[in-house]
């Protein structure tokens, strides 16, 4: 039995169905260019809590957001620091997650105990179309229980409570996104984007 109550294909109709589930406070599984992710509305605290419980994740650990454009990003952040712009220009869309000051309206659990939010613009067409259909940023945490391998296909997901899964085939990105704090020039997690690549970015 599949973990998802409903599986859809990445057609406009399937993505619209997944966006409808997000608006209802449900959890959606979808492919990114790295692994399969779990999406909820990051402005809905009950939905975020449901996601943490599903993953058995400590709820003071922050969770990543994805966006399809800068307008969605700006709704999730309090400010866009000048030092972030060169990294956005160089690596977005792609597997680089950047830290920003969080917007006041975000669900508290999204940011853990911190005052920043981690976000990226993915290269995955399906993930971006889901954000556009929903009309806002969504969460993007790997579709697995904490401490277990990330799922690279819809069939590998072993979780209870997912309302809709978008079957986009196998995700073959080969690793997690890199997490970088441009204000502090700190790499919190090195992933697909390497330290060497980050150091090629120049500021005006």
Identify the residue whose tokens are 């819809």.
Answer: 154
Residue 178 lies in a domain: yes
For the chain, the domain total comes to 1
Residue 203 lies in a domain: no
Q: For 35-55, give one letter per residue: b (16+ CB within 10 A) or e.
A: bbbbbbbbbbeebbebbbebb
Distances (CA, A) of 190 to 120, 194, 197: 15, 6, 11
Report the pLDDT value the prediction gives residue 202, as an integer from 0 to 100. Answer: 79
CATH number of the structural domain spanning residue 32: 3.90.870.10
Q: Is the pLDDT of residue 1 over 70?
A: no
List pLDDT tens digits, range 26-35. 999 999 998 9
What is the average pLDDT score of the chain?
93
Among 125, 122, 135, CA closest to 169: 125
List pLDDT tens digits, range 2-58. 678 899 999 999 999 999 999 999 999 999 998 999 999 999 999 999 999 999 887
Residue 204 lies in a domain: no
Residue 118 lies in a domain: yes
Residue 147 lies in a domain: yes
Segments forming the whole domain that contains residue 52: 4-198
The answer to whether the pTM exceeds 0.85 is yes
DSSP characters over 186-200: EEEE--SS-HHHHTT
Alpha-helix runs per DSSP H in 153-203: 195-198
Q: Is the pLDDT of residue 181 over 70?
A: yes
């Amino acid at each position: 039995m599949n973990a998802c109550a409903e599986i859809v294909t990445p057609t406009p109709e399937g993505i619209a169905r997944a966006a409808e589930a997000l608006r209802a406070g449900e959890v959606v599984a979808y492919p990114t260019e790295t692994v399969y992710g779990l999406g909820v509305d990051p402005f809905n605290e009950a939905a975020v809590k449901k996601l943490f419980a599903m993953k058995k994740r400590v709820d003071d650990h922050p969770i990543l957001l994805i966006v399809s454009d800068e307008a969605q990003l700006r709704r999730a952040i309090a400010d866009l620091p000048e030092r972030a712009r060169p990294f956005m220009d160089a690596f977005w869309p792609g597997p680089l997650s950047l830290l920003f000051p969080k917007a006041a309206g975000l669900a508290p659990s999204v940011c853990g105990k911190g005052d920043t939010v981690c976000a990226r613009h993915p290269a995955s067409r399906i993930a971006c179309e889901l954000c556009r259909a929903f009309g806002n940023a969504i969460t993007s945490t790997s579709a697995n229980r904490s401490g277990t391998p990330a799922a690279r296909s819809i069939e590998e997901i072993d979780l209870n409570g997912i309302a809709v899964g978008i079957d986009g085939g196998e995700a073959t990105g080969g690793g997690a996104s890199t997490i970088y704090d441009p204000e502090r020039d700190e790499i919190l997690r090195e992933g697909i984007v390497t330290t060497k690549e980050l150091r090629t970015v120049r500021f005006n």
